[in-house]
Amino acid sequence: MTSGPVAGAIDSIEKTAEILSPQPVFADGKPSLAGLGRTEISQKLAEIGVAQRELRMRTGQLWHWIYHRGATSFDVMLNVSKELRSLLAQHFTLDRPEIVSEQISVDGTRKWLIRMPPVSAHDKGAEIETVYIPESDRGTLCISSQVGCTLTCSFCHTGTQRLVRNLTSAEIVAQVMIARDRLGDWPGAARPTDGLVPDAERAVSNVVLMGMGEPLYNFEHVRDAMAVVTDGEGLTLSRRRITLSTSGVVPMIQRAGDEIASMLAISLHAVRDELRNELVPLNKKYPIAELLDACRNYPGVSNARRITFEYVMLDGVNDSLKDARELVRLLNGIPAKINLIPFNPWPGTTYKCSDWGRIEEFSDVVFRAGYASPVRTPRGRDILAACGQLKSETEKLRARARLMLEEGIGAEGVYAVGGGED
């Protein structure tokens, strides 16, 4: 049993998760089975009278249709009896949360604004963003774990949006399903003709928990969602193709390794506590030395399963060559990759991106010390879909839609390819 401040931190995290994750219900009052885990699906079947002895088999059938085939209606489940299909349709749906808008960047990156079903009569439905980054041979889906974020990292746009609530595990899974729906990524489905979709067997080949929110502040739901996403009879994504990115919730890192077993990324961004306290205020609670100790002990870390350290390049703030050398020193002994991220500006920020010459010099120092140090190509900047830029902007989009309608332009033009932000 853990004791002292660590136990206190875990308690408060769990309490937050409990309070902030109500169960959404779709508009017609029926809950959706899409996104649920096996145990939850079995429970739902038992509630509508499916016999105990059939539960396992029926759950397996539904699982195959929902997560292997991507079914959106019970009608297509031809190996399920007509009576049961009709009973299922009376009580449940396979609806996904609503896509409010889709923006496609000039570089093919897509950003979806997704509205979750309301959780009460007065709730209009929480909104989150999910981003898809295609490359020629793979596609990475960046998913959100919370609506907003509590952590106020000073370089991050999401941090300016207050936390509304944690997402449920079903809502986290639903982001993967929505992407696969939209990208024609189910067996036999047609790929879209707009935007870029990789010429690979799977359009969504990798998932990163790097969208809105701190995943380790919503631990149970993230863990349960990843169990669904990695299930070998459904969405079948390998745990090695899932990366959980944390700003450094030290007490939860060991559990993440034991119970989620994904790849780990750390939003480091500074090599001195004084500066990291400012960039990532959680550092005041869990300073760099403690964070790096937790990384050294991350279950399964090895040269084949390196930890990624993310480092946003901020002009004149954290980009000196002295910082680069200190970074190398700090990471000594940790199987690591360093991901240099050119800062993606957003409205209202005072930070600027380091110039390319400086980014290259910084990268050289790190590379010469033996670390892979790719510079992440900024993707989707024109639609505010790049790292640290996410923030639900429905009001802004609505205002622009009104304006365009007033000017006689179709509302669909609001979300046009490469539309960009104000």
Active site residues: 129, 387
Residues 6+ apart with CB under 8 A from 102: 110, 111, 112, 113, 182, 415
Q: Which residue is nearest to ligand SF4 (CB)?
A: 159
Site string for ligand SF4, 355-394 (x = CB under 6 A): ---------------------------------x------
Selected from 66, 88, 143, 151, the binder of ligand SF4 by CB under 6 A is: 151
Nearest by Cα to 24 from 123, 143, 145: 123
Phi, psi of 82 (to 5 degrees): -60, -40
CB atoms near residue 220 (< 10 Å)? 16
**Which residue's CB is nearer to ligand SF4, number 44 or number 269?**
269
What ranges make up the beta strands (E) of 173-324? 206-209, 242-246, 263-267, 307-313
Nearest by Cα to 103 from 347, 412, 408, 376: 412
Q: Quick check: 212 and 129 in contact, CB under 8 A?
A: yes
**Which residue's CB is nearer to ligand SF4, number 209 or number 229?**
209
Handedness of CA 394, 223, 66, 30 (dihedral sign): negative
Q: Which stretch binds ligand SF4 (CB under 6 A): 135-143, 145-153, 372-380, 399-407?
A: 145-153
Selected from 101, 105, 158, 168, the binder of ligand SF4 by CB under 6 A is: 158
Selected from 33, 153, 268, 295, the binder of ligand SF4 by CB under 6 A is: 153
CB of 53 to ligand SF4, least distance (A): 46
Measured in whole angstroms, the distance separating CA 398 from the mean position of its chain's CA atoms is: 24
Stated as kind and residue range, the H or E segment containing 134 is strand 127-134
# binding residues, ligand SF4 (CB under 6 A): 13
In DSSP terms, 338 is beta-bridged to 309
Please report which residue ranges of 164-287 form alpha helices under DSSP H. Answer: 169-182, 219-230, 250-255, 273-279
Site string for ligand SF4, 267-286 (x = CB under 6 A): x-------------------
Selected from 36, 41, 126, 149, the binder of ligand SF4 by CB under 6 A is: 149
230 binds ligand SF4 (CB under 6 A): no
Selected from 247, 344, 373, 392, the binder of ligand SF4 by CB under 6 A is: 247
Site for ligand SF4, rule CB under 6 A:
149, 151-153, 156, 158-159, 212-214, 247, 267, 388
